[in-house]
Amino acid sequence: MDAQLHQPPVLAARALSEADLGLPSPLPSKSLIILRGAPGSGKSHLANSILAHFPYTIILSSDDYFYTSAGYYNFNPKELGQAHEWNQQRCRDHLSPSPSPSLIVIDNTHMQLWEAKPYVQDAMIYGFHVLALEPNTEWWKSRNVQEMTSKNVHGVPYESIKRMIDRYEEDWTVENVLQSSRPELPSQRPPGAGLTSA
């Protein structure tokens, strides 16, 4: 499925330099860019600014999974895991040599390091340079949840964005991502684990 097919119309982004975008210059010939940031932080605008500067860019987002063939966004939280697996497979398909694009952007939140791990592992297999970018917006840098709530296009509520920011992990390096693991969910713990006696 084409990465751009189900995305909503995009306003033209002004052309920016690699430095404006936070990219190294020159950009390595095969690069995977992992975007990080909460909903409403400016990730998609950043992705589209990259596309305006590098027309050969492929933008992949798990949100694409929830667009209907008519272009309507129909989010179902029960299908979020499936949406991420679908997007990871699309990324693998674009990374594989047949011919692969020079620049792939993953436009997901990636608040915790482990969330980027499948993309980073696949990029390493196919010899892609990996880097992470965050929006340079004042409301993202200041973690202004109210502003992000008003700016996000999918209506993600304040409390959800706040929870995402509360679990945000700062120390993003390829090595740290590769060493990361998904936190254990409460339902995965053995009975009595984590309980202390008084």
In this structure, what CATH number is given to the domain that contains residue 123? Answer: 3.40.50.300
Tokens at 94, concatenated: 């674009």
The domain total for the chain is: 1
Mean of the pLDDT values across residues 134-160?
95
Q: Is residue 104 part of a domain?
A: yes
With 0.85 as the threshold, say if the pTM is over it: no
Which residues form the domain of 46? Answer: 31-181
Least Cα distance to 128 among 52, 54, 34, 55 occurs for: 34
- Whole-angstrom distance, CA of residue 14 vs CA of residue 143: 24
Residue 23 falls inside a structural domain:
no
Angle among Cα 167, 182, 92 to the nearest 5 degrees reads 110
State yes or no: pLDDT of 132 exceeds 80: yes
pLDDT tens digits, 14-70: 445 566 677 777 777 899 999 999 999 999 999 999 998 888 899 999 999 999 999
pLDDT level of residue 185 (50, 70, 90 thresholds) = confident
Residue 8 within a domain: no
Q: Does the pLDDT value for residue 13 go beyond 50?
A: no
Asked, for residue 109, whether it belongs to a domain, the answer is: yes
Give the pLDDT band (50/70/90) at residue 187: low
- The answer to whether position 194 is within a domain reads no
